[in-house]
Amino acid sequence: MAGSAPEPPSSTEHKLRERVKELECLFEVSRALRRVDSGLEPALARIVEVITGGFQYPEHAAARIRLGTACRQTAGFVETAFRLSSPINLPNGPGSVDVCYPAEISNIDPDPFLPEEVPLLEKIAGEIALAAASLRSAEQNARLEAQLRHADRLATIGVLAAGVAHELNEPLSRVLGFAQLAQKTPDLPPGAARDIGRIVDASLHAREIVQKLLAFGRRAPAQSVDCDMDQLAAGALDFLEPRCRAAGVEVRRELARRRLTVRADPTELRQVIVNLVVNAVHAMPGGGRLTVRVQEEEESCLLVVEDTGVGMTPEVLDRIFIPFFTTKDGGRGTGLGLPLVHGIVTSLGGTVSVQSTVGAGSRFTVRLPLDPAQGEEPRR
């Protein structure tokens, strides 16, 4: 490597020149991090190119930034013995800012790093960590705001739905009652019998919708007892398996085979399981495979319902928990099943997540907190 002997570091002019380079480097870093709304990647790409300008031999230095799984580095970066590194302290993964010189730098200066360059690199690492934390906080706030808006919308619709359901319940009961009485009329003409049968069927379907509306808008506290999720899932599948077979759906049970206790209303948990299974069966009109899994994970009980059905587009995924939204044909869905699941699970301090691919099926994962006092005995 060709090069002349460096100016003595004790020279006042040399020290001033180095300080100016460091300040210019920090200014460029700050400017790159000023706007990170679209993510850190563009800023890191800019920063890694300006870091070396703050060091004593910028024409020989190479830089690298590692942040979680992301890595940006200048061309020709190679770790050598002439390396200065500063960690980027983030809770979601390790990171670092590194500056290296090639081994040949020893021909120019056997100790190429200045003492002032250590705090310079620490300052750059700190600025990156602060920007990453700020971006993560903004993303979390955006998610929380979206959840709050959704919860407020659900609460408003719930109050409205309960009121409408109560108003509809009485006249609907009368229509159903008189229709069932009319069915018992002797010598009823076949045409009239068919029409009355349709009235009864429509009334029963409407009553089911009213019951779901009442359940969705119910504000009374639910019964809270120790529920064995594994046992509830097994019981629900015993009840639903004939329906699945009739639809050409193979059921796979991957149950925990031991007691996993959740503090909840057992009726509500059955509703969660039944609604998810029925929803999965409807998603496989030509048959398929349904997998129901119950397992423990990180002090939580997971209920996973996975199908090999038609899947959902991102646009549909964004709306599946909105009341009355449904993609099912008329008469098959009310658009209340999944919102009811979401409402029950969130009221228990749990979460519902969905992964889906068009043409490859969907997977619903319900995560509920386990009762700390749950038994650990395996079921025989």
What pLDDT, in 10s, does the model give residues 60-71?
Answer: 999 999 988 888
Taking the C-alpha atoms of residue 75 and residue 67, their distance in angstroms, rounded to an integer, is 18
Sorting pLDDT into bands at 50, 70 and 90, what band is 76?
confident
Q: Are residues 200 and 294 in the same domain?
A: no
**Close Cβ partners of 318 (under 8 Å, ≥ 6 residues apart):** none
Q: State whether 64 and 164 are in the same domain.
A: no
- Asked whether the predicted pLDDT for residue 380 surpasses 50, the reply is no
pLDDT, position 135: 83
Last residue of a domain, one of 173, 197, 217: 217
Determine the average pLDDT of the residues in 19-34.
90
Counting the structural domains of the chain, the total is: 3
User: Higher confidence at residue 372 or residue 98?
Assistant: 98
- The verdict on residue 376 lying in a domain is no
**What local confidence, expressed as pLDDT, does residue 378 receive?**
46
Predicted model pTM: 0.49
Q: Is the pLDDT of residue 168 over 70?
A: yes
Residue 321 — pLDDT band, cuts 50, 70, 90? confident
Question: With 60 as the cut, is the pLDDT of residue 220 above it?
Answer: no
pLDDT at 222: 57
Same domain, 106 and 156: no
- Cα(44)–Cα(39) distance, rounded to whole angstroms? 10
For 264-285, the pLDDT digits (tens) are 888 888 889 988 999 899 999 9
Calculate mean pLDDT across residues 44-67. 92
pLDDT over 80 at 198, yes or no? yes
Q: For residues 111 and 15, is the Cβ–Cβ distance under 8 A?
A: no
Residue 280 placed within a domain: yes
Phi, psi at residue 214, to the nearest 5°?
-65, -40
| pLDDT at residue 308, as a whole number | 94
What pLDDT was estimated at residue 319? 84
The secondary structure of residue 7, as a DSSP letter, is P
Backbone phi, psi, residue 103, to 5°: -60, -30
In a domain, 378, yes or no: no
Does residue 92 form part of some domain? yes
Considering only residues 97 and 38, tell me which one the structure prediction assigns the higher pLDDT: 97
Average pLDDT, the chain: 83
Q: Is residue 58 part of a domain?
A: yes
Pull the structure tokens for residue 118.
């250590």
| Predicted pLDDT at 213 | 66
252 and 359 within one domain:
yes
Q: Do 120 and 211 belong to one domain?
A: no
Shared domain check, 89 and 109? yes
Same domain for 236 and 205 = no
Q: What's the average model confidence in pLDDT over 42-54?
A: 90
Using the predicted structure, report yes or no on whether residue 84 has a pLDDT greater than 90.
Answer: yes
Q: Which pLDDT does position 304 carry in this prediction?
A: 95
The domain that contains 318 carries what CATH number?
3.30.565.10
94 closest CA partner among 60, 124, 132:
132
- The CATH number of the domain holding residue 50 is 3.30.450.40
Termini Cα distance of the chain: 75
- Last residue of one domain, picked from the residues 217, 245, 272: 217
231 and 359 assigned to the same domain: yes
Pairing between β-strand 288-297 and β-strand 249-254 as defined by DSSP bridges: parallel
Q: What is the pLDDT of residue 281?
A: 92
Q: Which two tokens stand for residue 128?
A: 């990156």
pLDDT of the residue at 51: 93
CATH of the domain at 212: 1.10.287
Task: Say which amino acid occupies 125.
Answer: A
134-148, 226-240, 257-271, 329-343: segment of lowest average pLDDT: 329-343
The answer to whether residue 334 sits within a structural domain is: yes
Q: Is the pLDDT of residue 166 over 80?
A: no
Around Cβ 334, how many Cβ atoms within 10 Å?
20
Residue 261 sits in the same domain as residue 298:
yes
Say if residue 352 is in the same domain as residue 335. yes
Say how far apart CA 223 and CA 270 lie, in whole Å: 13
3-state secondary structure of 10: coil
Candidates 37, 80, 43; CA nearest to 65 is 43
C-alpha distances (whole Å) from 241 to each of 244, 281, 287 are 5, 11, 13
Least confident segment among 86-95, 198-207, 323-332, 337-346? 323-332
Boundary-marking domain end, from 170, 197, 217: 217
Residues 292 and 320 in one domain: yes
Are 131 and 166 contained in the same domain? no
Residues in the chain: 380
374 close to 315: Cβ distance less than 8 angstroms: no
Q: What is the 3-state secondary structure (H, E, C) of 178-230?
A: HHHHHHCCCCCCHHHHHHHHHHHHHHHHHHHHHHHHHHHHCCCCCCCEEEEHH
Half-sphere exposure of 374 (CA within 13 A, CB side): 23
Residue 56 pLDDT greater than 50, yes or no = yes
Q: Which pLDDT does position 32 carry in this prediction?
A: 87
* Whether pLDDT at 176 is above 50: yes
Beta strands in the chain (DSSP E): 62-67, 70-73, 83-88, 95-100, 225-228, 249-254, 261-264, 288-297, 300-307, 351-357, 361-369
Q: Print the domain residue range for 213.
A: 147-217
CA gap 354, 2 in Å, rounded? 60
Residue 379 confidence (pLDDT) above 50: no
- Top pLDDT among 318 and 80 is at 80
The residue among 281 and 208 whose pLDDT is bigger is 281
In a domain, 374, yes or no: no
Mean pLDDT of 168-184: 87
Across the range 354-373, mean pLDDT stands at 90
Is residue 349 assigned to a domain?
yes
Q: At what angle do helices 266-282 and 337-347 cross, to 10 degrees?
A: 140
